[in-house]
Amino acid sequence: MAVGVLALQGQRAHSRLGVVGVEVRKPEQLDSVASLIIPGGESTTMAKLAEYHNLFPALREFVKLGKPVWGTCAGLIFLANKAYGKKEGGQELVGGLDCTVQRNFFGSRLQSFETELLVPDLASKEGGPETFRGVFIRAPAVLEVGPDVEVLADYPIPANKLPDQYRGPEPDEESSTATVKVIVAVRHKNLLGTAFHPELTADIRWHSYFLKMASELDEGSSNAVTAISATHPGFFQRPKIDLPIYLP
């Protein structure tokens, strides 16, 4: 089964899980893929390029047809129904994912970080540890979700570490020690969104989860994806030296 990668900023498709990867830059190329990944990048630039290539109508139709789409970081912004923090003049969105996101929620590239996320739903379906190494690079966050959206991961942070616009006017002693859970991974029917970058780790469980969405949505299809087992090369493996990828 061919998996497309929206390659507007030079991203490359790869076959990490043994599937065919197709780089998508034009509307007609969507006809040759069964699912699509919208990777990270600069969402405003991606939107301008997508508009230039007249991709938005085809992308929205792809979503409406119920085909699996996974957006990571900027891709999550692309899929959201609403986004805050857009640059002057705004940016067009594909939509379909019933949530509201905030661009650059965690700050600039210098505030990029890695952390262990609790992922019980992912672990129950894909096995492995209850945590996943989340790599956040100038990352967005999900502020609100619709009633049918599943929250797959959140990131607890102290209330006093929230961006200024999300803090109360006069934080008291109690609120300064409180913890707020910020949503960083969601699923809504055929759409998956992660604020972090699973492709920058050796743990392929999110990729496996996404591929299996196709067979869940289209049971019995000849294109159903074979389950990926824990014996697949690279499954759950970590680099021997697990240093942060980005340092201030």
Which of 73, 114, 188, 207 is catalytic? The answer is 73
Catalytic-role residue among 23, 144, 199, 232: 199
Beta bridge partners of 4: 22, 36
| Residue 92: C-alpha distances to residues 26, 55, 144, 196 (Å) | 17, 11, 19, 21
Helix (H, G, I), strand (E, B) or coil at 245: coil
Say whether 228 counts as a known binding-site residue.
no
- Whether residue 51 is annotated as binding a ligand: the answer is no
Catalytic residue, chosen from 99, 188, 197, 207, is 197
73 carries an active-site annotation: yes
Binding site annotation covers 137? yes
Question: Would the annotation count 41 as a binding residue?
Answer: yes
How would you classify the pairing of strands 97-102 and 141-145?
Answer: antiparallel
Instruction: Establish whether 103 is an annotated binding residue.
Output: yes
Sign of CA dihedral 74, 79, 84, 86: positive
> CA–CA separation, 145 vs 61, rounded Å?
22
Q: Is 138 annotated as a binding residue?
A: yes
Q: Is 53 a catalytic residue?
A: no
197 is catalytic: yes
Q: Which residues participate in the annotated binding site for L-glutamine? A: 41-43, 103, 137-138
Name the residues annotated as catalytic: 73, 197, 199
Mark the binding-site residues, compressed into ranges: 41-43, 103, 137-138
